A and B are shown apart, each in its own frame.
Chain A
Amino acid sequence: MINKPTPVIDADSRQYWEGAKSKKLMMQYNKNSNEYFLYSSSLGGIKHNENIEWKEVSGRGEIYSFTLVHAPAGEAFKDDIPYIVALITLEEGARIISNIIIEEGEKISIGDRVTVHFEKYSEELTIPKFKLVK
């Protein structure tokens, strides 16, 4: 079996991945504009050198868009098909990309409410994924 890709953790993503290990969903927060974001600030219109800190967020949000993948992103994901990759708008306003884990028979739509669910891959890596709010 081919190993799944692991993130190259850097200065702008470290707290996100570190937080996930202790089941916390962490986002960057701009204290001046009250805007949350992850990694790139383009959607928040945030200027450089503004007052940024990391904060834990609720983990609740809704599906902005999604795709049910049948042709996997390489061999590493072959055993997972079909699986869902989605863009999720968090209650706090940030948008992130992750997987949505559904149960047998569940269907998803844009606008559905979701909540974070942490999937532990290894001691080093836990991935924040999402499940539908029932």
Chain B
Amino acid sequence: MSKFPCIVGASDFPLQDRGKAKEGNTELTIQRYCAQKSLEQAGLNFSDVNGIAVAGMWGVPGPGIMQPNVLTEYLGIKNPRWLEGTNIGGSTFLLHVNHACQAIEAGICDTVLILYGSMQKSKMLRSLGNRLAIYSNQFEVVAGLPLPVGAYAMAAQRHMHTFGSTKETLAEIAVATRAWATMNSNAAFQDPLTMEEAMSSRIITSPLHRSDCCLVTDGGGALVLTSHEKSKNLKTNPIYIRGYGETNSHSSINYMPNLERLEIAEFSSSNAYKMSKLSPKNMDLTMIYDSFTITVLLTLEAIGACGPGEGKDFVKDGNIAPGGSFPLNTNGGGLSYCHPGMYGIFTIIEATQQLWGLCGERQLDDPQNAICHGTGGVLSSASTLILSKEKN
């Protein structure tokens, strides 16, 4: 990459009361706050922005179908040269970064704002049902599959059957993630979680328990991307995007090729590694979209942290917890920090802030490289980023 696209602004939205935005906010005020904060970090203004990417689940049916139009209007962005509103589920924002890199490389724009906002907790928008029984999803909706959790549960069941992972394996992930969240003052759940508590939490749909499932919160975030050249005059140290990948395979879980292997993450991450000329052993931090504990297990095995079926041993004995050898989801993840519905952007915000050294109590010791991986839909889409303090 000759222009060395990089992140120069990254911030999330402050939450209170177990993951709620302060009263009076909307999806738009959340995004304005995060955008302003991210631009200020870099020493930029709204008038510098010439590319905009946004996705979310608000305003549908209605203006939310065309979110880039809403945000350009609301923020007063003049003549953006590049627009992106693809939505592939929670992995979307990693894909937006990929595409922003391509646009910056191609010289189309040089200051991109990537935005996300959600009020799903305050507005009580989530339900396991109420999906339309249409297209290839009609059969599962008629069968009463709670979504998305039921789809992930069937992947967990299949993984357990094939590789011998257990309920304890999944609980280890929930417990380690919570341990990281105890050091994030913006996390919805900051009190430690024990193995006993995790395993005795309410069963949702077998084999997944409450502690295996992400939270439902409000929240939002923003990223600012630019080129190496333009970053020289800015206030933050650029975090370079050294490699990226993306792919997808299905919409309904019935059409996932093999439920015990996250093959789309294998494909996406191997392309990202190849581009970056870095390998899994070079990663000082791993940020995985933890929609469910099983998503983490499948992703660890897919992105080369360990081999297929080895995850059950890999996550044991505090290996992924604070003090372990493999820092994972240091913000407390979607399981314990926040999950406004499309969590992917938070993997990038945390990785960037860790590489900047701004993470306080949970700050890692001088990390150089990080991998972020997002999964969207029902294990449907994948997107990977490899971030580094060094441009090559």
Please judge, given known A-B contacts A8-B133, A110-B157, whether A99 and B205 are in contact too, CB under 8 Å. no
> Bound state CA distance, A96 and B142, in angstroms?
12
Check if A67 sits within 8 Å of B139, measured CB to CB.
Answer: no
Output the least CB separation between A123 and chain B (Å): 17
> Bound state CA distance, A76 and B133, in angstroms?
13
> Bound state CA distance, A109 and B161, in angstroms?
9
> Bound state CA distance, A10 and B133, in angstroms?
11
Contact with A along B138-169 (1 / 0, CB 8 A): 11111111110110011101100100000000
Query: Is B108 close to A, CB under 8 A?
Result: no
Query: Is A40 close to B, CB under 8 A?
Result: yes
Chain A residues within 8 Å of B150, by CB: 67, 69, 73, 85
Binds A, one of B8-16, B71-79, B123-131: B123-131
Please judge, given known A-B contacts A7-B133, A85-B150, A110-B157, whether A69 and B205 are in contact too, CB under 8 Å. yes
Q: Which of B154, B161, B255 contacts A40 (CB 8 A)?
A: B255
> Bound state CA distance, A72 and B144, in angstroms?
7
Q: Tell me the number of A-to-B contacts counted with CB atoms below 8 Å.
A: 134
Check if B129 sits within 8 Å of A72, measured CB to CB.
Answer: yes
Q: Which of A10, A68, A75, A110 contacts B205 (CB 8 A)?
A: A68
Chain B residues within 8 Å of A72, by CB: 128-129, 144, 146
Check if B145 sits within 8 Å of A8, measured CB to CB.
Answer: no
Query: Is B236 close to A, CB under 8 A?
Result: no
Output the least CB separation between B1 and chain A (Å): 32
Query: Is A26 close to B, CB under 8 A?
Result: no
Chain A residues within 8 Å of B254, by CB: 87, 95-97
Q: Output the nearest chain A residue to B204 by Cβ-Cβ distance.
A: A71
> Bound state CA distance, A75 and B128, in angstroms?
10
Chain A residues within 8 Å of B154, by CB: 65-67, 85-87
Query: Is B257 close to A, CB under 8 A?
Result: yes
Please judge, given known A-B contacts A65-B154, A67-B206, A70-B206, whether A96 and B139 are in contact too, CB under 8 Å. yes
Check if A98 sits within 8 Å of B139, measured CB to CB.
Answer: yes
Query: Is A127 close to B, CB under 8 A?
Result: yes
Output the least CB separation between B153 and chain A (Å): 4
Chain A residues within 8 Å of B60, by CB: none
Query: Is A49 close to B, CB under 8 A?
Result: no
Chain B residues 192-223 with CB under 8 Å of chain A are 202-208
Output the least CB separation between A116 and chain B (Å): 13
> Bound state CA distance, A75 and B249, in angstroms?
31
Chain B residues within 8 Å of A40, by CB: 136, 250-252, 255
Chain B residues with CB under 8 Å of chain A are 127-136, 138-147, 149-150, 153-155, 157-158, 161, 202-208, 249-255, 257, 259
CB<8 Å pairs between A and B, sample of 8: A39-B136, A42-B249, A70-B203, A71-B204, A87-B259, A97-B143, A98-B139, A127-B143
